[in-house]
Amino acid sequence: MSDKKKAIENLGRRHFLRNSAVTGVAGAGLAGGFGAGALMNSRQARAAENGVEVAPGELDEYYGFWSGGHQGEVRVLGIPSMRELMRIPVFNIDSATGWGITNESKRIMGDSARFLNGDCHHPHISMTDGRYDGKYLFINDKANTRVARIRLDIMKTDKITTIPNVQAIHGLRLQKVPHTKYVFANAELPIPQVNDGRDLENPENYFTMFNAIDAESMEVAWQVIVDGNLDNTDADYTGRFVASTCYNSEKGMTLADTMRAERDWVVVFDVDAIEAAVAAGEFETLGDSEVPVLDGRKGSKLTRYIPIPKNPHGLNTSPDGQYFIANGKLSPTCSIIGIDKLPALFDDAIEPRDTVLAEPELGLGPLHTTFDGRGNAYTTLFIDSQVAKWNIEDAIRAYNGEEVNYIRQKLDVHYQPGHNHASLTETRDADGKWLVVLSKFSKDRFLPVGPLHPENDQLIDISGEEMKLVHDGPTFAEPHDCILARADQISPSRIWSRDDPTFAETVAMAEADGVNIETENKVIRDGNKVRVYMISVAPQFGLTEFKVKQGDEVTVVVTNLDQVEDLTHGFVMVNHGASMEIGPQQTASVTFTADKPGVHWYYCSWFCHAMHMEMTGRMLVEKA
């Protein structure tokens, strides 16, 4: 047996087929044959050569969590394949899962369930000691001033909080050490305080606030009122400092008004001082809210204002914990702020501009910066449609007068990039493998689909000296930002736990009705309210019919007793706008009005069995 044949036999079948396909592409033209390799297209061959192929049955190295933009959801992708794995509804209505339709989801959404829209911007994963702990993912809703929490064990939203006294939550980041005690959220748009009709025509009395939400309770812990407005934010690795950009220090009400000042600023918040002030009672409350509101305007001991070039946007912390980097937007520069200088700034030992270590010129429209953990930064240039790779220490040396080129490379991206994100970049463990760029325009990249174009996500290999574009693909609609975590840092459950708090209130309702929802199928009438309890085991509902009267408020509770992973049932009541997902060992409920007499079928909407189509039942509605 030849050495070549022995080597082939030692390969796994999957790797053998893949490797033969790659070599087949290279040799097809010479051999003139039509072998397995000739079936691989050029895109697949390039992916294999670049090391990004994830073959069928193989798993990705990273989870990617994408904000769904105006869809109001979070999308889960595998990296580097860029395969979409799941969509997690958050601020939107989702008929597949019943989010916003089921009683359980409406309880989580609370009073804000009345909103039918959301605008997700910044997803971030909870941390312990500056490393992802895989417990929660947090996301903001700019449209309706909310912050949501997603449990990463079940990939479901479990808390939504509306932030009082402010409008338009935009920048969101988390406390990194010693753990994520706070979710920090910026309210972007100033409003009167209190916003009850007073000061409508007096913008000088408009203000906005920096907000801290307790990550466990999801209650707003405190708010700090500031001058100007607030845009993006990030926290340091000591737990003490958080910085935010301000692009409208003028509090202008029009575009021209926001351009008057020569500079804007970065606001730095001293979390230790804020907590001490809250403990000492040095706060007020506004309107109906009981949240402590502290004064962080200029002259406050709680904040410092660092002047930087006009209309900054992104604010990013380097993984070594040394720098805040504020991105210029209207200036071709970024401002590098030395975090180790901030204690002296709060002691009034230095001037605010003394904290700025460099302002490297990168290109037109710098928006966001990410890092590879090797001392390099990657900044999106919106106007230039490029990513600039540059070295932070060299930029500081150049700012101090040395002749050194800090730009390492510029790579064209398509087109007008906004956020970018490198693998593990928000943690101590930034590994410099992958960079995702979220571009706002796609123009000529994909098949035309009418006046509304898709946008473009691009994956770039940054593991070597040069950036290499290895994937681009369309996305919808305006997914604002993303975050990448190693697959081993996330541990999703395979089936539901029967004591999960998500449906605890529904279980308690059944217990009050004297129903064991794991063993009984039962109809409970309480006046004109009817509660229908049924078990589901593929391919049958525990009740194949039940009878109600016209006008009854009907609550259907389904418990899925199947224990097989991936064996999800659905419940849809035809012509009643009622649908929900019930995963294995989950209980879910939906309420609707039986407003029309007659026969109304219900069916399982998730394909669960060879006899799935037969998994049906009838609601018989008697005339009133």
Which residue's entry shows tokens 């008929």? 95
> If you write DSSP's letter for every residue of 53-77 in order, what string do you get?
---TT---SEEEEEE-GGG-EEEEE
- What type of residue sits at position 488? D
Q: Which of 173, 177, 110 is nearest to 144 (CA)?
A: 110
249 burial type by CB count under 10 A (0-12 exposed, 13-18 middle, 19+ buried): buried
Q: Is 99 marked as a binding-site residue?
A: no
Phi-psi region of 142 (alpha: psi -120 to 50; beta: other; left: phi over 0): alpha
What one-letter code names the amino acid at 147? V
Residue 170, annotated as binding a ligand: yes
DSSP, res 163: P
CA dihedral 198, 199, 205, 207 (to 10 degrees): 60
Is 334 annotated for ligand binding? no
> Is residue 482 a known part of a binding site?
no
Q: Does residue 80 sit in helix, strand or coil?
A: coil
450 three-class SS: coil
Task: Find the helix or strand (DSSP H, E) in which 17 lies.
Answer: helix 13-31
Q: Check whether 600 is labelled as a binding-site residue.
A: no
- 471 among annotated binding-site residues: no
From CA 490, how far away is CA 134, in angstroms rounded?
5
Burial (Cβ within 10 Å: 0-12, 13-18, ≥19) of residue 539: middle
Distance CA 177, CA 199 (A): 40
453 is in an annotated binding site: no
SS3 257: helix
| 176 burial via Cβ count (<10 Å: 0-12, 13-18, 19+) | buried
Residue with tokens 């606001």, as numbered in its chain: 267
Task: Answer yes or no: is 15 a known binding residue.
Answer: no
The rounded radius of gyration (Å) of the Cα atoms in the chain is 28
Task: Write a three-state SS string for 470-505.
Answer: EEEEEECCCCCCEEEEEHHHCCCCCCCCCCCHHHHH
Are 215 and 230 in contact, with CB atoms under 8 Å apart?
Answer: no
Helix (H) or strand (E) holding 45: helix 42-49
Q: What angle do CA 431, 18, 459 make, to 5 degrees?
A: 35
* Residue 246 counted as an annotated binding residue: no
Distances in whole angstroms, Cα of residue 261 to Cα of each of 75, 190, 305, 360, 367: 39, 17, 15, 21, 20
Q: Is 122 annotated as a binding residue?
A: yes
Task: Please answer whether residues 327 and 368 qualify as being in contact, where contact means their C-beta atoms are separated by less than 8 angstroms.
Answer: yes
Q: Is residue 609 marked as binding?
A: no
Cα 452-456-457 angle, rounded to 5 deg? 150
Binding residues for Cu cation: 121-122, 170, 313, 368, 419, 480, 569, 604, 606, 608, 612, 615
| Residue list for the binding site | 121-122, 170, 313, 368, 419, 480, 569, 604, 606, 608, 612, 615
